[in-house]
Amino acid sequence: MTEDNLVYLLDGKVYINLTNSCTNNCVFCIRDIKDDVVGANLFLSSENVKAEDVIAQLEKIHEKLSSEIIFCGYGEPMLKLDIIKEVAKYIKEKYPNTIIRINTNGQANLVYKRNVLPELKGLIDKFSISLNGENEEVYNRISLPKIEGAYTAVKDFIKEAVKEGFDTTATIVTGYKNYNVDMQKCIEITKDLGAKFRERPWIENGY
Ligand code: SF4
């Protein structure tokens, strides 16, 4: 049993927070700015998160579980792929009408060196994937990826998610200091990849 906030509520939606780790180090990342997203302290004291602890915290707010549940939080959720699978399976079995989304940096296939998307079919409904820039140079300046080839891997992941039938949205963050992103080009890239597009204006309290 952990005291960490593995589950939190924001605008009536349920968010699941699995890790502090990430394969990026984005200039606007809330991890570097503050410990909480709109009041919920999300820094985990341990990376040893267990699916049963997540499920126990979900059940404490079971009346909210019929809306949308999002794996998101403070780091990159797909780094905890096995826990995502276990928790999503539990949710889909017990609350079959609940929509499950993952907000991700889209580098999972690069990290695991295999296409993990087919493993998430029937468990995950939607992906929101950070495109973050119109080319590798802009992406690297904004996201400071720790793994080479990240930008291409992100675009491939978006394309693959669409192909596998997930409801897929590519996102960019705008309005952070003087880090300019060419939104029109990002819209075109997203269209070519077959995904939806969303601009996420940067806000002080966590975007
Ligand atoms: S991908 Fe998300 S969690 Fe990772 S560094 Fe960027 S903003 Fe932070």
Residue 166 Cα to ligand 1 middle (Å): 22
Q: Are 20 and 47 in contact (CB under 8 A)?
A: yes
CATH topology for the 7-201 domain? TIM Barrel (3.20.20)
Residue 21: pLDDT band with limits 50, 70, 90: very high
* 158 pLDDT more than 60: yes
For the entire predicted model, the pTM comes to 0.95
* Between 10 and 143, residue with greater pLDDT: 143
- Ligand 1 lined by 73 (C-beta under 6 Å): no
* 35 pLDDT more than 70: no
Q: Percent of the chain beyond pLDDT 70?
A: 93
Best substitution site from 20, 31, 172, 173 to test ligand 1's pocket, by max atoms within 8 Å of Cβ?
31
Exposed/middle/buried for residue 161 (C-beta within 10 Å: 0-12, 13-18, 19+): buried
The per-residue pLDDT for 207 is 44
In which element (H, E) is residue 197 found? strand 196-201
Alpha carbons 101 and 161: distance in angstroms, whole number: 12
Residue 32 Cα to ligand 1 middle (Å): 10
- Ligand 1 lined by 20 (C-beta under 6 Å): no
- Ligand 1 lined by 24 (C-beta under 6 Å): yes
Q: Percent of the chain beyond pLDDT 90?
A: 84
Best substitution site from 15, 21, 26 to test ligand 1's pocket, by max atoms within 8 Å of Cβ?
26
Alpha carbons 150 and 11: distance in angstroms, whole number: 31
Average pLDDT for 17-22 = 96
* Between 204 and 108, residue with greater pLDDT: 108
Alpha helices, DSSP H, located in 100-182? 108-112, 136-143, 150-163
Chain mean pLDDT for the chain: 93
In which element (H, E) is residue 37 found? strand 36-37
Domains in the chain: boundaries: 7-201
Residue 37: pLDDT band with limits 50, 70, 90: low
Q: Are 77 and 84 in contact (CB under 8 A)?
A: yes
Average pLDDT for 13-27 = 95
